[in-house]
């Protein structure tokens, strides 16, 4: 594992370029900073400043090398690198609330954007007018969309929201793509079709992730639970309530292994062995060895006075010193992720190695 810091500001989201030599991060404000790896250091090479509200989502498409960003200013921009600088194109979102998350589809011909307007905008490029248009999925969504993930078939979309529901929806746009073949989630997929609606997730659904095959969907909710819906087993849902603080992000790192992280400040490993077989494996952070020094009675009371604790050191025993906001794959394919990264409210980015 390797620890990198981009300053003291909290990091709300991040995304990597194709060869992982550059990273785009947002320090919890209206800018996106792009850093390049030079030796052991990260050097800032670009700053994207078109948004007027706090950045809530960044996704960097590996093949087309386009970046999509969204923010609380109700806007999204698609950025293209021309002559050494990033040029923004405005997306016609037609939303009246803040955008919350954004994800490119696997084929990069469209992207999905969640918002507080209780809908998902599926955006695609229209060559005739040279702009990005959006179609809205409104069906059944009754609160803010908090998380999105694409199925490997480029059609189905998972969405977690603040109405305590997790859904799998069709984002098929017949103008730009061929008719999809049947999947384990269902065969008929007109735009906006609800393929799965799990009603009682127990809390806001902060993170969603499809398995490499797309037949399983995992999500994490604010009641400290993790769940997996298995389309190959009749869409049966297995839910596990953990004893940890709520998790905010989840990734499938192999067909059966998952990594999730959140307010506990360290990644956790889970394994899924079929319906009813979801288990917590271990924490994936090596705790720091705390050295207890003998404290005099006088020092003990001074510490209580200063910090309301008799602990000399208030540092956490984890690498991240605050909540982890997002996980991303760094290397390996969907079926066997070798490395993944985490960013947190402590301003740190950590690259972790996953041992299979």
CB-based contacts of 167, cutoff 8 Å, min separation 6: 140, 141, 158, 159, 161, 194, 195, 196, 197, 198
| Cβ neighbours of residue 220 closer than 8 Å, sequence gap 6 or more | 205, 206, 207, 226, 227, 246, 247, 248, 249, 250, 260, 262
pLDDT tens-digit profile of 82-97? 999 999 999 999 999 9
pLDDT above 90: residue 124? yes
pLDDT at 328: 97
pLDDT of 304 over the 80 cut: no
Give the torsion through C-alpha atoms of 162, 66, 77, 253, to 10 deg: 10
Q: Is pLDDT at 305 greater than 70 in this prediction?
A: no
Q: Which two tokens stand for residue 212?
A: 């490499």
Measured CA to CA in angstroms, residue 86 lies from 23, 31, 41, 82 at distances of 14, 13, 22, 6
- CB-based contacts of 32: which residues, under 8 Å, 6+ apart? 24, 25, 26, 47, 48, 51, 55, 58, 67, 69
pLDDT exceeds 80 at position 258? yes
* Residue ranges of domains in the chain, CATH in brackets: 2-353 (2.130.10.10)
Q: How far apart are CA 114 and CA 339, in angstroms?
A: 27
C-beta of residue 12 within 8 angstroms of C-beta of residue 325: yes
Beta bridge partners of 115: 99
pLDDT digits (tens, 9 = 90+) for 1-22: 889 988 889 999 999 999 999 9
Q: pLDDT tens digit string along 47-90?
A: 999 999 999 999 999 999 999 999 999 999 999 999 999 999 99
CA neighbours closer than 13 Å in the CB half-sphere of residue 236: 11
Residue range 174-225, pLDDT digits in tens: 989 999 999 999 999 999 999 999 998 999 999 999 999 999 999 999 999 9
């Amino acid at each position: 594992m390797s620890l990198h810091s981009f300053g003291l500001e909290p990091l709300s989201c991040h995304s990597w370029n194709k060869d992982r030599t550059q990273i785009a991060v947002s320090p919890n404000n209206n800018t996106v900073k792009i850093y390049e790896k030079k030796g052991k250091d990260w050097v800032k090479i670009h700053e994207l400043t078109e948004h007027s509200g706090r950045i809530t989502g960044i996704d960097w498409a590996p093949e087309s090398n386009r970046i999509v960003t969204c923010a609380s200013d109700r806007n999204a921009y698609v950025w293209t690198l021309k002559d050494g600088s990033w040029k923004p194109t405005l997306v016609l979102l037609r939303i009246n609330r803040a955008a919350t998350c954004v994800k490119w589809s696997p084929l990069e011909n469209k992207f999905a954007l969640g918002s507080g307007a209780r809908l998902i905008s599926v955006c695609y490029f229209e060559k005739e007018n040279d702009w990005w248009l959006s179609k809205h999925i409104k069906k059944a969504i009754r609160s803010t969309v908090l998380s999105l993930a694409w199925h490997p078939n480029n059609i189905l979309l998972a969405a977690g929201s603040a109405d305590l529901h997790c859904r799998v929806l069709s984002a098929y746009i017949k103008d730009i793509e061929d008719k999809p073949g049947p999947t384990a989630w269902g065969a008929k997929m007109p735009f906006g079709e609800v393929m799965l609606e799990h009603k009682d997730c127990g809390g806001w659904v902060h993170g969603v992730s499809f398995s490499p095959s797309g037949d399983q969907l995992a999500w994490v909710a604010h009641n400290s639970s993790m769940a997996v819906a298995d389309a190959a087993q009749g869409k049966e849902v297995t839910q596990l309530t953990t004893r940890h603080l709520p998790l905010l992000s989840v990734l499938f790192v192999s067909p059966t292994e998952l990594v999730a992280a959140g307010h506990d400040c360290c990644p956790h490993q889970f394994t899924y062995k079929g319906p009813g077989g979801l288990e917590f494996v271990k924490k994936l952070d090596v705790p720091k060895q705390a050295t207890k020094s003998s404290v005099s009675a006088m020092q003990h009371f001074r510490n209580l006075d200063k910090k309301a604790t008799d602990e000399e050191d208030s540092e956490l025993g984890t690498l991240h010193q605050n909540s982890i906001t997002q996980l991303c794959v760094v290397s390996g394919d969907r079926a066997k992720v070798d490395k993944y990264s985490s960013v947190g409210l402590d301003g740190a980015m950590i690259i972790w190695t996953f041992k299979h």
